[in-house]
Amino acid sequence: MPENLEFKKLREFGEIINDMFLFIKQNFKALLKVFVYFSGIFLLGSIIAGIYQQIGMQRALISSDNPFSMLGKIFNVNYFLVILFNMASYTAMNVSILSFIAVYIRKGNVAPSLEEVWSYFKFYFFRVLGSGVLIGLFCVLCFLFFLIPGFYVMPAMMLFFPIMVYENASFGYSFERAFKLVKGHWWITFGTILIIYFITLASQSMASLPALVFTFVSAFTEGAKGLSNTAIIISTTVQYVCQVFMIIPLVGISICYFNLVERLDSTGLMDRIGQMGASKEPFNTPEEY
* pLDDT at site 144: 81
Which residues are CB-contacts of 212 (< 8 A; sequence separation ≥ 6)? 205, 235
289 band by pLDDT with thresholds 50, 70 and 90: very low
Banded pLDDT at 249 (limits 50, 70, 90): very high
Task: Please state which of the ranges 27-41, 66-80, 189-203, 267-281 shows the lowest mean pLDDT.
Answer: 267-281
pLDDT digits (tens, 9 = 90+) for 191-244: 999 999 999 999 999 998 888 887 777 777 765 566 778 888 898 999 999 999
Angle at 239 between CA 209 and CA 144, to 5 degrees: 110
Q: Which amino acid is at 1?
A: M
Give me the residue spans of the domains in the chain.
Answer: 13-32+95-267
Orientation angle between helical segments 229-241 and 28-63, nearest 10 degrees: 150
Measured CA to CA, the distance from residue 182 to residue 261 in angstroms comes to 10
Q: What is the pLDDT of residues 106-150, one digit of tens each?
A: 999 999 999 999 999 999 999 999 999 999 999 888 888 766 777
Of all residues in the chain, the percent with pLDDT exceeding 90 is: 61
Per the CB < 8 A criterion, the answer to whether 255 and 24 are in contact is no
| pLDDT tens profile 5-57 | 999 999 988 899 999 999 999 999 999 999 999 999 999 999 999 998 888 88
The answer, as to whether pTM is greater than 0.85, is: yes
- Provide the residue count of the chain: 289
